[in-house]
Amino acid sequence: MALKLLRNVFYCMNRILVVEDDPDLLEVVQLILEANNYKVFPLMTGRPIFRIIEEFKPDLILMDIKLDGMDGRAIFKEIRTRKETAHLPVILTSGGFSEDYIMREHLLSADYLEKPFEMALMLDKIEKLLKPIIF
């Protein structure tokens, strides 16, 4: 993907926290994001997520709903209830839930990706949520 250089646009390396318990998918997503100039913190469990959010300060979270031993829906709801994290855009991913289910459960994330998903679609959704700051 070619990087477009625009005049008067400040580019910063956006930080993305990726929470995914499939190590192969986590590695692929990390490689794709880093190749597209994102700083990535890969996380295979949701247990330390709030500590990682505090330390890494992500601009966006990409999180699986079905995490090994944890429910990503509960983590998402906790993200939304905390004052310091409620503003963060979250893209939920899952192979076991449809987008209709996500809406019925009132999991109003910034976006949703149903697995398997195309990496180009993931990048498009992330780019829309992390538009560059124009001065």
Q: What residue ranges do the domains of the chain occupy? A: 13-124
- For the chain, what is the largest distance between any 2 Cα atoms, rounded to a whole number of angstroms? 47
Superfamily of domain 13-124: Response regulator (3.40.50.2300)
pLDDT digits (tens, 9 = 90+) for 38-77: 999 999 999 999 999 999 999 999 999 988 888 888 999 9
pLDDT digits (tens, 9 = 90+) for 65-116: 988 888 888 999 999 999 999 999 999 998 876 556 555 555 567 788 889 9
The whole-model pTM stands at 0.84
The pLDDT value recorded for residue 99 is 58
Tokens of 101: 């289910």
The b-or-e profile of 57-95 (16+ CB within 10 A means b, else e) is ebbbbbbbbbbeebebbebbeebeeeeebeebbbbbbbe
